[in-house]
Amino acid sequence: MYQKVLAASVLAVLTAAPAFAAVSGATLFKQHCAFCHPDGGNIMNKNKTLHKKDLNRDGIKDWKGVVAKMRNPGPGMTRYDAKAITDPQAKAIGEYVIKTFK
Segment 51 to 90, residues that bind ligand HEC, using CB under 6 A: 54-55, 58, 60, 66, 69-70, 73-78, 80
Q: How far apart are CA 96 and CA 71, in angstroms?
A: 17
Determine the size of the site formed for ligand HEC (CB under 6 A).
27
How far does the chain reach from its first CA to its final CA, in angstroms?
49
Least gap, CB of 21 to ligand HEC (angstroms):
16
Least gap, CB of 26 to ligand HEC (angstroms):
12
Whole-angstrom CA distances from 95 to 11, 15, 92, 99, 100 are 25, 19, 5, 6, 8
Q: How many CA within 13 A on the CB side of residue 39?
A: 1
Of the candidate residues 21, 24, 27, 42, the single one contacting ligand HEC (CB under 6 A): 42
Quickly count: other Cβ atoms within 10 Å of residue 23's Cβ: 12
Of the candidate residues 24, 27, 49, 100, the single one contacting ligand HEC (CB under 6 A): 49
Interacting residue ranges for ligand HEC, rule: CB under 6 A: 32-33, 35-37, 42, 44-45, 48-50, 54-55, 58, 60, 66, 69-70, 73-78, 80, 93, 97
